[in-house]
Structure 1
Amino acid sequence: MKILIFGNIIDNKDVLTTYFKSKLVVVDETLEREEALDLARIYDYDAVVLRLSDARPPETDLIRRLRIGGLRCPVIAVAHSFGESSRLRVLEAGVDDLIVSATSQEEIFLRVQNQVRRSRGFQSPALTLGNVEINMNAKKIFVAGREVTLTKKEYQIVEILALRKGCVLSKEAILDHLYGGLDEPNPKIIDVFICKIRKKLLALGADDLIETNWGRGYMVVERRSTEVTQPRPAEAAIGPDPRLTTGLFLRVGA
Structure 2
Amino acid sequence: MKLLVVEDDPDLRRQLLTGLNSKAYTVEECADGKEAVYMGSEYDYDLAIVDIGLPGLSGLDVIREWRRAQRPLPVLILTARGDWQDKVEGLEAGADDYLVKPFHMEELHARVNALLRRAAGHASPQMNYGPITLDTVARAVLVHGDEIKLTSYEYRTLEYLMIHAGKTISKGELTEHLYHQDYDRDSNVLEVFVRRLRQKLDPDSTLNPIMTVRGLGYRFALEATE
* TM-score bin, normalised by smaller chain: 0.7 to 0.9
Q: Which residue of 2 aligns with 1:39?
A: 39
- Normalised to the residue count of structure 2, the TM-score between the two structures is 0.88
5+ residue gaps, structure 2: none
Q: 1:211–1:219: 8 Å Cα contact kept in structure 2?
A: yes
Q: Distance in 2 between matches of 1:107 and 1:206?
A: 39
Q: Which residue of 2 aligns with 1:149?
A: 149
Q: 2:51–2:78: 8 Å Cα contact kept in structure 1?
A: yes
State the AA in 2 paired with 1:98: Y
Q: Distance in 2 between matches of 1:170 and 1:192?
A: 15
Q: Distance in 2 between matches of 1:17 and 1:204?
A: 39
1:211 is displaced (CA, Å) by: 1.4
Partner secondary structure for residue 203 of structure 1: coil
| Equivalence map 1:179-198=2 (5 Å) | 179-198=179-198
1:204 is displaced (CA, Å) by: 7.4
1:189 is displaced (CA, Å) by: 1.3
Q: Which residue of 2 aligns with 1:139?
A: 139
- Bigger radius of gyration: 1
TM-superposition CA deviations, 1:71-111 (whole Å, max 9, x none): 22211101233434322221211211011145411111111
Q: 2:33–2:56: 8 Å Cα contact kept in structure 1?
A: no
RMSD: 2.6
1:206 is displaced (CA, Å) by: 7.3
Q: Which residue of 2 aligns with 1:207?
A: 207
Q: Are residues 46 and 86 of structure 1, via their aligned partners in 2, closer, same or farther at CA, if it must alter by over 3 Å?
A: same
The reply on whether 1:99 has 2:80 as its aligned counterpart is: no
Q: Which residue of 2 aligns with 1:68?
A: 68
Q: Which residue of 2 aligns with 1:129?
A: 129
- Normalised to the residue count of structure 1, the TM-score between the two structures is 0.79
Q: Are residues 215 and 57 of structure 1, via their aligned partners in 2, closer, same or farther at CA, if it must alter by over 3 Å?
A: closer
| Aligned residue-pair number | 225
The reply on whether 1:167 has 2:167 as its aligned counterpart is: yes
1:132 is displaced (CA, Å) by: 1.0
5+ residue gaps, structure 1: 226-254
State the AA in 2 paired with 1:39: M
Greater relative contact order structure (CA < 8 Å, 6+ sep): 2
Q: Are residues 187 and 84 of structure 1, via their aligned partners in 2, closer, same or farther at CA, if it must alter by over 3 Å?
A: same
| Equivalence map 1:239-250=2 (5 Å) | none
Q: Distance in 2 between matches of 1:211 and 1:202?
A: 12
Q: Structure 1 residue runs of 4+, over 4 Å off? A: 10-14, 54-58
Report percent identity of matched pairs. 29
